[in-house]
Amino acid sequence: GRKTYKKVYYLEGTAYEMGFLLGLMAEPEVSVMTDKYVENVIPDFFDIKFDPNSKIIQHIQEVLVEILGEATEKMEKDIPYELIMEMVGIVNGCQVVNPDTDVELKALKFLNFGIDYLVSHIYTGEIFKQKKRKIPPEILKVPVMCNAISITGENVEGNKHYFGRDFMFPTAGVFQDV
């Protein structure tokens, strides 16, 4: 098969400037992540196979978008200003390089902290038990999550601190290439 290489971006500046530069350089990749990834990762949270065009998957996607919208709105006051400004910069950079871009701030918020909200609440199924949601929590499955390790103290040369993480979240057929 065709080998796809991931890009690495090195940026300096304020949060907004770094976001803007990333938007200028990576609009297609940002667009794929805010559209295809968010859309394709949803079925990975359920323990049944769906036809992507089925009414139930469309209903589930609508409910999850509603939940993420509510959550990101409530959470925004707790998100560091620099992270919001970086996302604003990404959107603006994407718009400069591609005036017809699909990249929106709302989608970046979903991707950057809405999905974390969803995952942190999906373990209990509580978000689906409300009458208006009408999705049985029994169909939920918890996808494999990331692991992290932190090493610090006298066992590390120079008393430094090292942090590492592996990404084990579902790739949704997108993230492995972007």
What confidence tens digit (pLDDT) does each residue in 78-108 have?
889 999 999 999 999 999 999 999 999 988 9
Report whether pLDDT(23) > 70. Answer: yes
Instruction: Tokens for 139, please give them.
Output: 């169909």
pLDDT > 70 fraction of the chain, expressed in percent and rounded: 75
Cβ pair 110, 93 in contact under 8 A: no
Amino acid identity for residue 47 in this structure: D
**Residue-averaged pLDDT of the chain:** 81
pLDDT of 127: 64
Give per-residue pLDDT as tens, 36-53: 887 777 767 665 665 666
C-alpha 65 chain-centroid distance: 13
pLDDT of 79: 87
Range of 29-33, 116-120, 160-164 with top mean pLDDT:
29-33
- How distant, in Å, are the alpha carbons of 39, 41, 152 from that of 59? 13, 15, 47
Instruction: Tokens for 45, please give them.
Output: 């949270």
Q: Region 155-175: what's the mean pLDDT? A: 80
Choose among 164, 122, 125: nearest CA to 143: 122
Q: Region 102-122: what's the mean pLDDT? A: 81
pLDDT of 154: 83
- Confidence bin at 177 (pLDDT 50/70/90): confident
Give per-residue pLDDT as tens, 62-76: 777 777 778 788 888
Q: How is 14-57 classified by DSSP, letter by letter?
A: -HHHHHHHHHHHHHHHHHHIIIIIHHHHGGGGBSS---TTSHHH
176 DSSP assignment: G
Q: Tell me how far apart the alpha carbons of residues 119 and 129 are, in angstroms, rounded to a whole number.
A: 16
Residues 6+ apart with CB under 8 A from 60: 42, 46, 135
- Confidence bin at 12 (pLDDT 50/70/90): very high
